[in-house]
Structure 1
């Protein structure tokens, strides 16, 4: 019998597949109602901020042939409502399902406040620290492009939480390994990568960008080669567990990410074509591993053979 279970800090995954943050809301979107969420390795909820936010101007999503551009922003009802209503309901319905909460904000204080509240709630198994949000105190730059800020923020969050933290890395940097090492130095228990690649699409008739916010995050098959390369580079730079993502649509894609160095994967844009992408991928994986002569999914991690 092929083993597809994975053990990561704070997380006992029955399979290495989970929805990427934002994809399944708080386990309350229509796609999440279509199947038993216990079929997932874990559930990653939408990024939560201190107060309710409505996100960016419409249109927020534009589907391309090979990916998705989005500028949704961090639309959420605020951390207190997320804990009292969303997480409580999710935990009640799925008491055994590992839950990863995603943390966001506009300042370091925001991140620390949200992380502490989520950790103290006792409703989550781990936190994903989304460091690709705008930080107004640094002239609108993203936290995640500054290794020193990532290290400092990770330390501050680590000091107030009692669950493992996974720092989510932005690909919009010159050297992703510098940021990965900074997160490790700050005490991160794991890493998630990649977040979306900054992109743009223009309508030739109107001469205007297709997104209300002009630019947005590109995800899907278009970014898979970039994501694989970055997962590989980060695996060479650190031994921290990695949750890999970026264009995963098939069991073969999962195996590629594991070979590059990921321990588990998150699926996002594939849901635009198949709302049951996660359970389908988890079901397809054992047959592929058997075909490849692999008895344990964990044996694939970082085993890419370079030319």
Structure 2
């Protein structure tokens, strides 16, 4: 397997300890849990998505565990501005704040809370199960551009997380780039649901959810590949990454770094485990690997 030279990297204006980042929504609700994931070997961490007002989320059940994936319909529960207290134990660490809003103005407001407190901002324009937020905005190129510009214009490093639930993801990636994004994150979850045949009703309290985990890895690779062909800003691959070889495959498709989410549920120390296989003192410079599958 291809291995990389270890060491800090910079992607989309943010300096990371390595190429492995905790994805939003997984152990990102408290400063203590984020700090623990950093101790366990993550190169950076993304917080739970924070919005302009507190939300309790969808009624349960909110999670369905499958053989090779997870369907969730959390509904963006978050404490809003009260979350800022959690950052006190993370000073100087590579923390990216995931934020959401219903308008460019709301995105600008929430981003302002975090400016100077975190390394950068990740716009959640991709959650498929929160009405009026996430993919409801992220499927419209004009809104993506406006929301991105609202956050990026003050100069804070800005990443935009894209939804795969569109006809052409490159159109959305280019809109984020026009809005001033420093990087794009691909992808968030795929629309999905399960039905209980014994109860004759959807399993999730919200009926619909988003599929993550190993099942969506090939979809994520294709999205990263297409975005690399179309866009000129860095790409962070996300979706089903669970091994060092997955990381290399994502990078060959065009990712400069990766986010890991669902795999953490099974092993909170997965970052150290992957890093042990991914890095070697005689490994390749990552620049030799990123995008090498494009011919």
Return the TM-score normalized by structure 1.
0.88
CA distance in 1, matches of 2:140, 2:39: 36
- Whether the 8 Å contact between 1:172 and 1:197 is mirrored in structure 2 is yes
Q: Which residue of 1 aligns with 2:142?
A: 148
- Following superposition, which runs of at least 4 residues in structure 1 exceed 6 angstroms of deviation? none
CA RMSD of the aligned region, Å?
Answer: 2.2
Question: CA 1:107–1:261 in 2, change beyond 3 Å: closer, same or farther?
Answer: same
Question: Does 2:113 correspond to 1:124?
Answer: no
CA distance in 2, matches of 1:108, 1:149: 8
Q: Which residue of 2 aligns with 1:37?
A: 39
Moved more, 248-257 or 5-14: 5-14
Report the Cα offset of residue 299 of structure 1. Answer: 1.9
- Whether the 8 Å contact between 1:56 and 1:73 is mirrored in structure 2 is yes
Aligned pairs for 1:181-260 (under 5 A) are: 181-260=174-253
Q: How many residues align?
A: 290
Alignment deviations for residues 34-75 of structure 1 (CA, whole Å, 9 cap, x no partner): 565373211111100112111111011111001000001211
CA distance in 2, matches of 1:35, 1:302: 28
Report the Cα offset of residue 283 of structure 1. Answer: 2.3
What secondary structure sits across from 2:47 in the alignment?
strand
CA distance in 1, matches of 2:195, 2:32: 29
- Whether the 8 Å contact between 1:48 and 1:104 is mirrored in structure 2 is yes
Report the Cα offset of residue 76 of structure 1. Answer: 1.1
Q: Which residue of 2 aligns with 1:271?
A: 264
Question: CA 1:113–1:162 in 2, change beyond 3 Å: closer, same or farther?
Answer: same
Question: Does 2:26 correspond to 1:23?
Answer: yes
- Whether the 8 Å contact between 1:6 and 1:264 is mirrored in structure 2 is no
Moved more, 105-114 or 203-212: 105-114
Question: CA 1:195–1:233 in 2, change beyond 3 Å: closer, same or farther?
Answer: same
Q: Which runs of 5+ in 2 are unaligned?
A: none
CA distance in 2, matches of 1:131, 1:36: 25
Report the Cα offset of residue 10 of structure 1. Answer: 2.9
Q: Which residue of 1 aligns with 2:89?
A: 89
Choose the corresponding residue for 2:56, options 47, 54, 65. 54
- Whether the 8 Å contact between 2:31 and 2:88 is mirrored in structure 1 is no
Q: Which residue of 2 aligns with 1:284?
A: 277
CA distance in 2, matches of 1:212, 1:231: 32
Question: Does 2:98 correspond to 1:102?
Answer: yes
Question: Does 2:17 correspond to 1:7?
Answer: no
Question: CA 1:35–1:82 in 2, change beyond 3 Å: closer, same or farther?
Answer: closer
